[in-house]
Amino acid sequence: MTESYDLIVIGSGPAGYVAAERAGEAGRRVLLVEREPVLGGVCLNWGCIPTKTLLNCAKIFHYAGHGQAFGVSATPQFDFAAAQARKQKVVGQLNVGVAGLMKRAKVTVVTGQAQLVDATTVAVGDQRYSAAHILVCSGSRPSRPPIPGLDLAHVVDSTGILALERLPQSLVVIGGGVIGLEFAHFFASVGVAVTVVEMLDQIAGATDLDCARTLRQALEQHGITIHTQARVTAITAEHVAFTDRKGQDQQAAADCVLVATGRTPNVEGLGLEQVGVALERGRIVIDERCRTNVPSIWAAGDCTGKALLAHVASRQAEVVVAAMAGGPDRMRYHAVPAVIYTTPEVACVGLSEAEAKAQGRAVLTAKLPMSVSGRFLAEHDDRGLVKVVVDAQTRALIGVHMVGATCSEMIFGAAAMIESQARVDEIKQTIFPHPTVSEVIREAMFALR
């Protein structure tokens, strides 16, 4: 017998559980299918939340041992087991929270592997479920590059490294993107010798060049060895072999190796091809309302490959639920904030200077050190900067890029300014609280050239 619902959601990550909650609260009958025994997806269980918990533990440890400039002297010890226990406590509490949200929204939750039977039917084991709408939120997994030695026991991905029971003596991180840099910073902060090997000419991916340079200087000052324009050739039991930017063969000792070379959308085993859902380079193709080419099937989150960020996934889910009801909501990607949770933090939204110029846009830019903020100077010894990018013709803010403590908590304001197409004069006329670090954004408006 087939059970009938208004909406079937496949996957309970930041896209899936948000869509289920919003639809359930709107009075729809919703089924949420999750293959793992816990809700929340990668973000909650093996990504955003556990990594930020560990990074904060490391930050407290670092501050405790480097407080002399602030009149504090201490000799702290880092308890990795205790940090891991805190991580599990935080994750567990949020697991319960998501389950509570589903119960409150009257969402039916089923554990198992979902398989599309047709455009309105999903099978989970021997049971079949039907709905007018199906939302695929199947997420992503760590990519596996073709490197000899990748299957050695001491080689882990971003999921496996969270399960370590002891700190390694040395860690080589393959990949200098967000995930690799955050783990590099954590382990370096607690005394592990860390080397990062990145094949591009800068770390932090497409981050604004000025911010990437500032971050690299800070991380190297923190003790992390960074090789850019370097290509890994092999992994052995003792080291990682790579060619450096000059084409010379190098080796880095590796008690543990983290492969952090990006993520791959999960699109296999769902029956997408059988029901005719269009895929492009392993990603589900969607329109601005997150609808696939099959009218009853929608997709949100990492499986779409649009922007592999939890907050993008959640916003896509909200757009889907609104669109199912005939609402005008649509996705816009021009003001998506992104954060790297190292110390210092990096937070960016909108276009970088290079991206804007590549589009043929004339721009005005301004770059100020974070130390122009009295609050920043009083509380932090870290380096930092703010860089703003403004369209020279319209004088609208189109990009904000920051390095420094608390950046992650300020970037939403810049996103709101870009989303609302705020002009320079409007931002100048906005009153910012003093003393706050956020004032640097307003000060940058007066420094535009």
The string of pLDDT tens digits covering residues 153-194 is: 999 999 999 999 999 999 999 999 999 999 999 999 999 999
**Mean pLDDT confidence for 396-405:** 97
Q: For position 217, what pLDDT does the model report?
A: 96
Give yes or no for residue 26 having a pLDDT over 80: yes
pLDDT computed for residue 173 by the predictor? 98
Question: Radius of gyration (Cα) for the chain, nearest Å?
Answer: 23
Distance CA 346, CA 338 (A): 8
Q: How far is Cα 24 from Cα 252, in angstroms, rounded to an integer? A: 52
Q: Would you call the peptide bond into 14 cis, given omega within 30 degrees of 0 as the criterion?
A: no
Predicted local distance difference test score (pLDDT) of residue 388: 98
Q: For residue range 228-271, what is the model confidence (pLDDT) as tens digits?
A: 999 999 999 999 999 999 999 999 999 999 999 999 999 999 99
- Is the pLDDT assigned to residue 36 strictly greater than 90? yes
Q: Are strands 2-10 and 127-136 parallel, antiparallel or unpaired?
A: parallel
Annotated catalytic residue 434: yes
Does the CA dihedral 354-366-347-213 come out positive or negative? positive
Question: Could you tell me which of 10, 11, 26 has the C-alpha nearest to residue 321?
Answer: 26
Distances 57 to 51, 84, 160 between C-alpha atoms, Å = 10, 9, 19
Maximum Cα–Cα distance for the chain, whole Å? 71
Average pLDDT, the chain: 97
Q: Is 38 left (phi over 0), alpha (psi -120 to 50) or beta?
A: beta
- 168, 196 in Cβ contact below 8 A? no
Gap between the Cα atoms of 172 and 90, Å rounded: 27
Average pLDDT over residues 40-58: 98
- Determine the Cα–Cα distance for residues 216 and 26; give it in Å rounded to an integer: 47
CA 84 to the chain's CA centroid: 21
Q: What is the DSSP letter of 196?
A: E
Three-state helix/strand/coil letters over 118-184: ECCEEEECCEEEEEEEEEECCCEEECCCCCCCCCCCCEECCCHHHHCCCCCCEEEEECCCHHHHHHH
Residue-wise pLDDT for 106-116, tens only, equals 999 999 999 99
8 A C-beta contact, residue 76 and residue 83: no
As a whole number of angstroms, the distance between CA 1 and CA 90 comes to 40
pLDDT digit string, tens, across residues 299-319: 999 999 999 999 999 999 999
Residue 383 reports pLDDT greater than 90 = no
- Say yes or no to pLDDT of 334 above 90: yes
Q: What pLDDT, in 10s, does the model give residues 285-300?
A: 999 999 999 999 999 9
Mind giving me the DSSP string for 260-328?
-S-EEE--TTS-TTTTT--EETTEE---TTSB-SSTTEEE-SGGG-S---HHHHHHHHHHHHHHHTT--
The pLDDT tens digits of the residues spanning 186-220 come to 999 999 999 999 999 999 999 999 999 999 999 99
Burial bucket for residue 256 (CB in 10 Å: 0-12, 13-18, 19+): buried
Q: What is the pLDDT of residue 382?
A: 82
* Tokens standing for residue 198: 């990145």
Task: Specify the residue for token string 């969270």.
Answer: 162
- For the cut 80, the answer to whether the pLDDT of residue 40 exceeds it is yes
pLDDT of residue 1: 77
Q: Is the dihedral of CA 341, 342, 345, 347 positive or negative?
A: negative
Pairing assessment for the beta strands 397-403 and 346-350 based on DSSP bridges: antiparallel
Is the pLDDT at 130 greater than 80? The verdict is: yes
Task: For strands 283-284 and 279-280, give the pairing.
Answer: antiparallel
Burial (CB count <10 Å: 0-12, 13-18, 19+), residue 3 = middle
- pLDDT tens-digit series, residues 368-380: 999 999 999 999 9
The predicted structure's pLDDT at residue 300: 98
Cα-Cα-Cα-Cα torsion 422, 204, 438, 412, nearest 10 degrees, comes to: 50
**252 in Cβ contact with 225 (< 8 Å):** yes
pLDDT band with cut points at 50, 70 and 90 for residue 17: very high
List CB contacts of 219: < 8 A, sequence separation 6 or more.
181, 184, 185, 188, 196, 203, 226, 342
